[in-house]
Structure 1
Amino acid sequence: MPDTAEGLRRNIGGSSLRPLTDSEAISWLLPSELDSLRRTDIPDAYYVPTTVGGHLITPLDRFRASLKQKGLTFSLSYKAEAMDNLDGGVERGADYVHELTLQMHFDLDKLVGLRGWTLHALVMNRVGHQVSTDRLGERYINLMEVYGLTGGVAAHLVDFYLQKTMLDGRLDVAVGRMSLTHVFATSPLLCSFMVTCSAPVILKRAPGFAVYPKATMGGRVRLRPTRDTSVQLGVYQVTPLASNPSGWAWGSERTTGVMLPIEFTWQPFLTDKKLPGHYVFGYARDTSRYADLMTTGAANAIKRDSTPPSAPMNMYWFEGDQMIYRKGGSDQMSGGYLMFGYVHNTPRVAALSDQYYAGFSFNGVVPHRDTDRFGVLWSWYHVSDRLRLNQMYLIDSGQSLGASVLAPQTSSHVIEAYYSIDVMPGLQLQPEFDYMIRPGETTKTSDATLLGMKIIANF
């Protein structure tokens, strides 16, 4: 599961929002004995962190409590990932990455009298090497979450935004500099897997989708129309991925368009066990103009279709999970989930156009270890047909695909398994197993078997 700092980062959605109406939508169609919401509202607490509770440096607890009374909450965390390619890929060997994160929340009511306002700030440092590119020859899919986009600086600025809950707790608004994946296309379950944290891979590959730690200027609103539904929508600046790599030079960013995401969630609670489910339907429109993947090299000369040379980009996603048993408590993470989803990008501008995934995340598999989790996730990735056709044209014309592409690319699979262990307050260990089928999205590189370890420490 996400570390405490990450969980706090994702808690900007106003996890205790009150519904606008005291009614149900889709859940009303369920039999009354199956629908827990029929009788009473249940707090919307999916984004509340539940693991890596406490701190390793306990003498600071009194100091933390004193600062919180004055209006300041902070979290300092360390996350490390090491992964060894045991077989397959382009070469054997191991790589290591780590992330240091400082997150601060300023209660502006206590500090300056602005009732209901909170200022959030996050700075981080990342170093290391990615096993996917170094050992597998894989350019699209990062098997390790903690990698890249920090600009090679000691303190990369990620977040700097204001949040306010209004209308008596019924509307949550955030504006400033932030990542889209704080609340869009993400979940604690997805982020328990390294490959899908903080969003499905092909959304990470979308050029205009600001995936953590990439941040951009914008705002979003979130509300619950009924007790079983929520809606959030936003408007965000789109800038080139490589612009302002340090996060501090806002004036150097070149705006190419606007990102317009919207997301609808149906959240039922089933049976007298109150088993939660989350069925998320999302869409985003990037108004930037992107070159057609068929407009390069020989393909441009041969191309005879009517597709415009540049066009905006559309992204669609469905992310579902359903708890099937409850164990260890009453919150939304105290139980085992089935997971499934599908994501689509515009094929003419995105290298990866489709992703399917399915898996599970179970807690309490080992007796008396109710907060430990065991998860397995299978993902399938499809390369854009237009990119593959472009590569075929280049080969037919005698041109090179480049050193990193060995043949026209089609698809790949990743199977990830982990067991997350709460060692002590403030410390979590997570052994990892990965198996990648068709690294580089071709048959030229043999399937890869990897073992790794993830460590999360909250100070």
Structure 2
Amino acid sequence: MWYDRNASSARSIRMSFCLYISCLSLLCMLVWVSPAIAQVMDRDIGSAPSLLVSKPLPRHASHKTSVPPFSQPEAIVTTSLSKWLRKWGINFLLDSTNEFAGAITPPTRGSTPGFRNYRQGASNAGQYAMQLDVDWEKLAGVRGFATHMVMIGRYGTTANRMFGDWLNHASEVYGGGGNVAVHLVYVYGEETLFGGRLVIAAGRMSEISDFAASPLFCNFQNGSFCGRPKGITDTNFAAGYPAATWGFRVRGRPARSIYVQTGLYPIEDGIYQVYQHRTGFKFNGANIIGYAVPVETAWEPMFMDGALPGHYKIGAQLFSTPQRDNYFDINGAPYAVSGRAQKQHGASWSTWVMLDQRLLQYHTKDTGLTALAGAIYNDPHTSLRNYLVYAALLNRGYFRSRPYDTMGVAFTYTKIAQGVSASESALLERGAVAPNHATGIQRSAMVLELNYAVHVMSGVIFTPVFEYYIHPNAQANLRNAALLGLRVHIQLM
């Protein structure tokens, strides 16, 4: 819901803020009376593929062909039926995530239509999700074969657009879900051979759930970081959750702590648009316009006898579909000046380096201080985000009495491609409309998030959030924006 800054709007904002304070008060009461039972935010539905790739082989792994264990997060409801289903290889999960965010700073004012639409207000966005994994080895005797499916529904809106930002959502669960009751995210089959040394998968897949992925990213709420650093899907041709395309992926582990993987993913035009993928059930492939080929390798050491795990990965992807140049026209002149059609490139690319390392371990196996850092560099001639760098710290279980609470701080810096900035400058000078919803020249943006994830009870996490946008939409002419938020994750079963 959007709120205008008139008298009625001001009352609504105050009510939202009071609701936020009330939730925090309730949260504190629950923390005081509730025992801690293990659950962390990076175990929600959608993280299963990245959780699997983040696990190196056991120390004395066999060569037996078998299905790896499915993710089984703690839940509010644990029934004898679910235990019986898992015994036969059927893993059914159901969860809900709700994200509230409200601006505590006023937006930039101006006389142009873009500025007149800016508001100070609050928003709410949410997602409910279902995951179904089937171990066909247990169910039908098919050695090493499993199938995976996720379906979601999404609702609400995001607060960042109220103050003019279109680069990084304040609520990551907003968008991409089709605005329908049921949206198919992915469904695919996976064969695990030789004790996990070779894994082959095919079907409707989210490429960025396997490549440039980490289950740690969604310990944060803002979209520049969760569910992947935003620069990796800059072209809209890389299939990131909750979007999917037909795909094929193969992963090999030549050593216990090293993997190499690649794949082939058809590029579907309009993958994030409602007109093509409203429900996710459009399978005919009539809108395929090219192919994406990612390659990634990683080293996954386990220092101090496994107490300090780390992940160090490097990767790249090639897009074979034509893309427009962000500066030159078909004759090699600035398109923003000439008015002619933009130059077409036959292909483009993206690269990334990502790492995370636990630096300290506290009282138990899953506690400690973990550092994350990385960089994404895109083709400067076709991209909007030329590069993005990020850094974060996750401090889990620092307080002995709260071993499953997590404190987090994350920072991202986004640099807009030079051609985009130059083109917008020329367009705005002659009074034309700039791309990317820009009301000024886009150059760089920064997003900071601080949060504290409180494990309230089995299957329930409340996370108060503070977000700060520096140069929203990468525009220096927009005021910085501060937001307070609350994220609630409930694992139902």
Q: What is the TM-score with the length of structure 1 in the denominator? A: 0.86
The 5-angstrom pairing of residues 149-160 of structure 1 reads: 149-160=176-187
Partner of 1:329: 364
Are residue 74 (structure 1) and residue 92 (structure 2) matched?
A: yes
Partner of 1:436: 469
Are residue 10 (structure 1) and residue 39 (structure 2) matched?
A: no
**CA–CA distance in structure 1, aligned partners of residues 243 and 287 of structure 2:** 14
Residue type at the aligned position of 1:257? G
Residue type at the aligned position of 2:48? L
Aligned-residue offset at 1:201:
0.9
Given that 1:19 and 1:170 are in contact with CA atoms closer than 8 Å, whether structure 2 keeps it comes out as no
Aligned-residue offset at 1:412:
0.8
**CA–CA distance in structure 2, aligned partners of residues 455 and 427 of structure 1:** 7
Partner of 1:110: 138
Residue type at the aligned position of 1:77? D
CA separation of 1:403 and 1:189: change in aligned 2, threshold 3 A: closer
Aligned-residue offset at 1:21:
11
**CA–CA distance in structure 1, aligned partners of residues 105 and 350 of structure 2:** 35
Given that 2:164 and 2:472 are in contact with CA atoms closer than 8 Å, whether structure 1 keeps it comes out as yes
Matching residue within 438, 459, 484 for 1:426: 459
Matching residue within 178, 193, 198 for 1:166: 193
Per-residue CA deviation, residues 408-429 of structure 1 (Å, 9 max, x unaligned), is 1100100011111111111111
Matching residue within 125, 128, 136 for 1:100: 128
Extract unaligned runs of 5+ from structure 2: 1-40, 63-67, 108-117
Aligned-residue offset at 1:12:
4.7
CA separation of 1:256 and 1:4: change in aligned 2, threshold 3 A: same
**CA–CA distance in structure 2, aligned partners of residues 21 and 384 of structure 1:** 46
Residue type at the aligned position of 2:83? A
CA separation of 1:71 and 1:322: change in aligned 2, threshold 3 A: closer
Is 87-96 or 419-428 further displaced after alignment? Answer: 87-96
The SS at the match of 1:256 is strand
The 5-angstrom pairing of residues 24-423 of structure 1 reads: 53-58=73-78, 61-89=79-107, 90-133=118-161, 135-195=162-222, 196-240=225-269, 241=271, 242=273, 243-251=276-284, 253-271=286-304, 274-295=307-328, 299-300=334-335, 302=337, 309-330=344-365, 333-401=366-434, 404-423=437-456
CA separation of 1:121 and 1:66: change in aligned 2, threshold 3 A: same
Aligned length: 427
Residue type at the aligned position of 1:164? E
Residue type at the aligned position of 2:290? G
Partner of 1:38: none
**CA–CA distance in structure 2, aligned partners of residues 437 and 191 of structure 1:** 21
Per-residue CA deviation, residues 420-448 of structure 1 (Å, 9 max, x unaligned), is 11111111111111001011211221100
The SS at the match of 1:146 is coil
The SS at the match of 2:95 is strand
The SS at the match of 1:147 is coil
Per-residue CA deviation, residues 193-232 of structure 1 (Å, 9 max, x unaligned), is 1231221111133221111001111121222222332212
Given that 2:129 and 2:152 are in contact with CA atoms closer than 8 Å, whether structure 1 keeps it comes out as yes
**CA–CA distance in structure 2, aligned partners of residues 296 and 86 of structure 1:** 42
Per-residue CA deviation, residues 63-108 of structure 1 (Å, 9 max, x unaligned), is 1011122331100100100001111434321100110101101122
**CA–CA distance in structure 1, aligned partners of residues 387 and 140 of structure 2:** 48
The SS at the match of 1:257 is strand
The SS at the match of 2:83 is helix
The SS at the match of 1:294 is strand
Given that 1:20 and 1:224 are in contact with CA atoms closer than 8 Å, whether structure 2 keeps it comes out as no
CA separation of 1:16 and 1:385: change in aligned 2, threshold 3 A: closer
Is 3-12 or 110-119 further displaced after alignment? Answer: 3-12
Residue type at the aligned position of 2:445? S
**CA–CA distance in structure 1, aligned partners of residues 267 and 478 of structure 2:** 35
Given that 1:410 and 1:442 are in contact with CA atoms closer than 8 Å, whether structure 2 keeps it comes out as yes
User: In angstroms, what is the RMSD of aligned CA positions?
Assistant: 2.7
Given that 1:318 and 1:342 are in contact with CA atoms closer than 8 Å, whether structure 2 keeps it comes out as yes
Aligned-residue offset at 1:49:
6.1
Aligned-residue offset at 1:255:
0.7
Query: Taking every aligned residue pair, what percent have the same amino acid on both sides?
Result: 27
Partner of 1:39: none
Residue type at the aligned position of 2:44? T
Given that 1:14 and 1:165 are in contact with CA atoms closer than 8 Å, whether structure 2 keeps it comes out as no
Aligned-residue offset at 1:382:
0.7
